[in-house]
Amino acid sequence: VKPRPTTDEYRQVIGHFASGVTIVTSLRDGEPFGTTANAVSSLSLDPPMLLVCMNQESSTGQAIAATGRFAVNILHEGQAQLATHFATKAADKFEQVPYVVGERGNPLLPEALATLECEVVDEIAAGTHSVYLAEVNTAEASAGAPLAYFRGRFGRLEVAGG
Ligand SMILES: Cc1cc2nc3c(=O)[nH]c(=O)nc-3n(C[C@H](O)[C@H](O)[C@H](O)COP(=O)(O)O)c2cc1C
């Protein structure tokens, strides 16, 4: 039997699963938090539900735990720089990034390809992360192409046949 993959081996292999890129946000006591996240998945269509996996050390994850709500901002292909910006620990990530507060009280990035406001219904601790299962209360999308993430790099999605 092979030994379990090390952290680095696992990261290298799971990085072959291509994804989109989001900025998950939450507003805690009037202060916006946000982090780049690709561990995001749709969960149920009826009722509409999704899940996000947040490192327990993420300040955004902690804001979600405290408020019970968050938004998923799906990035378009021109927003790789924003993804890098929100993948840091800076305390003032929103200083140069405009946002609006959505009708459910979450910070929304107006330029995003799509935004969804969510309410946490369950939290599951697993390894280093917490999984937040949530109902989707609002969902809006605009025209455009998504930012992609594959093997540690940002890129564009090539549509088959097109
Ligand atoms: C492409 C990409 C995807 C990421 N996905 C996640 C994720 O799904 N969950 C997570 O907790 N961190 C993820 N991170 C790491 C966080 O963005 C990073 O730890 C950030 O500094 C956390 O900031 P915060 O503590 O202010 O919330 C990702 C980073 C990148 C570059």
- What integer is the mean pLDDT of 128-146? 98
* Predicted TM-score (pTM) above 0.95: yes
Count of C-beta atoms within a 10 Å radius of residue 102: 19
Centre of ligand 1 to C-alpha 36, Å, is 5
Asked whether the predicted pLDDT for residue 7 surpasses 70, the reply is yes
Tokens of 149: 């993430």
Residue nearest atom 13 of ligand 1, based on CA coordinates? 37
Residue nearest atom 10 of ligand 1, based on CA coordinates? 54
**pLDDT one-digit tens code per residue, 66-87:** 999 999 999 999 999 999 999 9
Query: What is residue 26's three-state secondary structure?
Result: strand
User: How far, in Å, CA of 98 to CA of 81, rounded?
Assistant: 14
- What integer is the mean pLDDT of 4-28? 98
Q: Which of 50, 53, 55, 88 to mutate to test the pocket of ligand 1 (most atoms within 8 A of CB)?
A: 55
Residue nearest atom 5 of ligand 1, based on CA coordinates? 37
In 68-159, which residue ranges form alpha helices assigned H by DSSP? 80-85
User: How far, in Å, CA of 85 to CA of 69, rounded?
Assistant: 22
